[in-house]
Structure 1
Amino acid sequence: MTAPIRLVLVDDHHMFRSGVKAELGEAGVTGGGRPLEVVGEAGNVDSAVSVITQTRPDVVLLDVHLPGGNGKGGSDVITGCPGALSESGGPVRFLALSVSDAAEDVIAVIRAGARGYVTKTISGTELAGAIGRVADGDAVFSPRLAGFVLDAFGAAAGEIAEVDEELDRLSAREREVMRLIARGYQYKEVAKELFISVKTVETHVSSVLRKLQLSSRHELTAWAMGRRLL
């Protein structure tokens, strides 16, 4: 049986959270066929960080405007959970769901580390699909919001060059292995995904850690997350 995507809902309106749960319940599964399981809820920044730490979900669906923290709403939730890992060992991923489509809100939460941003006009089926894609490591945006992100991050040429320089140390196969390991895949799963042996995976992981001067897969996950490579 396919493991469910474990989800935490963060919004300061209880009725809205109930509505999202109902919509996702009707949708049933993501586009990839994985069921969804809500494992926690929160209505402010501080309780959200606590719930995420305790439940270790795969995906956090959060509003960008929340009480508490340092006044930065959803961004405070994300930065309050640095390097958080899900129960399966992969990184906790964040998807913003907000009524706001303001450029400053989109850019702020993406800079904080969210993997996507969708507005509350989205249907339950579309939201389930977006959650599934974020859980798999993809970036997801409502159509007109993607332009804000491209404009904002297109200006960060120096930052992109630095990441490219680090990635240039790795071969194409090492990059593939790095991304899968950083996403929480086990060696056997990587081997199956890339059609190589477990021994070859181990060799590539050792080489990646050596070239990036890292000592563990947890450090590798943090490295990849910090450079938005997941």
Structure 2
Amino acid sequence: MRVVVVDDHSIFRSGLRADLDASIDVVGEASDVGSAIEVVLRERPDVVLLDVHLPGGADASLAGGAEVLRRAASEVPSTRFLALSVSDKAEDVVGVIRAGARGYITKGASGDEVSRAVHAVASGDAVFSPRLAGFVLDAFGAAGGEVAAADDELDRLSGREQEVMRLIARGYAYKEVAATLFISTKTVETHVSSVLRKLQLSSRHELTAWATARRLL
């Protein structure tokens, strides 16, 4: 997994590089908007770990991370962007997701959690720290224009499947769902597969969009 790390603090970049698991190869680093765009376009990594607030932006209306996304993402369509920031403000979370990031996790996450998030985003999933997911769901649900799902859609799911669906759609990892519901991780995986099959969805990202549009969370 080829990754570029973008953050304006060199100590944080060094620490993160050391904490990521062995399957992740950090192929480039950057500390500001201009150098981030340059290294992303040059390396075309699988995933960019992107801080939200970066110096060197040319557009005062955008946070640095959002500007990197607006200027670089269309040039590297196969690259996924994962926001990694100390900020947990709603405007930062929603702003960078609207710009095109596939997820947002805070810097309090462990190396293992960041590594799992990198792999999940690379696979097409959306990943959010659980307490941040509500900001995204509220913002995009309000704009979606869809009302609560019809009863027959939810009736396809058992009560337990509905519980699992809501937690997964909020960005919880399988282990977190298992701990919350006091079931095994394997059981969570089984329920998720069943939910996706019954709703005719193909990924956690689609499940999040489905639940958000219907204001089920």
TM-score of the superposed pair, with normalisation by structure 1: 0.61
Match status 1:101 vs 2:97: no
Match status 1:14 vs 2:10: yes
Secondary structure class of the residue paired with 2:74? coil
- Which amino acid in 1 is paired with 2:52? V
Which position in structure 1 is the counterpart of 2:26?
A: 38
- Report the Cα distance in structure 1 between the residues aligned to 2:25 and 2:18, rounded to whole angstroms: 12
Shift of 1:155: 1.2
Which position in structure 2 is the counterpart of 1:154?
A: 141
Match status 1:77 vs 2:68: yes
Q: How many residues align?
A: 146
The alignment-based identity, stated in percent, is 61
Secondary structure class of the residue paired with 2:29? strand
Match status 1:139 vs 2:126: yes
- Report the Cα distance in structure 2 between the residues aligned to 1:84 and 1:93, rounded to whole angstroms: 12
CA contact (8 A) 1:84 1:91 kept: no
- Report the Cα distance in structure 2 between the residues aligned to 1:22 and 1:82, rounded to whole angstroms: 26
Question: Runs ≥4 in structure 1, deviation > 3 angstroms?
Answer: none
- Report the Cα distance in structure 1 between the residues aligned to 2:50 and 2:110, rounded to whole angstroms: 16
Secondary structure class of the residue paired with 1:156? helix
1:60-209 correspondence to structure 2 within 5 Å:
60-69=48-57, 70-71=59-60, 72-85=63-76, 91-158=78-145
1:140-166 superposed Cα distances (whole Å, 9 cap, x missing partner): 0000100000000001125x79xxxxx
CA contact (8 A) 1:84 1:92 kept: no
- Report the Cα distance in structure 2 between the residues aligned to 1:146 and 1:122, rounded to whole angstroms: 15
- Report the Cα distance in structure 1 between the residues aligned to 2:73 and 2:46, rounded to whole angstroms: 14
CA contact (8 A) 2:73 2:100 kept: no
Which position in structure 2 is the counterpart of 1:202?
A: none
Which position in structure 1 is the counterpart of 2:43?
A: 55
- Any unmatched runs of 5+ in structure 1? 29-34, 162-227
- Report the Cα distance in structure 2 between the residues aligned to 1:154 and 1:83, rounded to whole angstroms: 25
CA contact (8 A) 1:117 1:142 kept: yes
- Report the Cα distance in structure 1 between the residues aligned to 2:35 and 2:49, rounded to whole angstroms: 14
- Report the Cα distance in structure 2 between the residues aligned to 1:84 and 1:153, rounded to whole angstroms: 25
- Any unmatched runs of 5+ in structure 2? 148-208, 211-217
- Report the Cα distance in structure 2 between the residues aligned to 1:109 and 1:81, rounded to whole angstroms: 13
Residue 76 and residue 140 in structure 1: after superposition, are their counterparts in 2 closer, same or farther (change >3 A)? same
Superposition CA RMSD, Å: 1.9
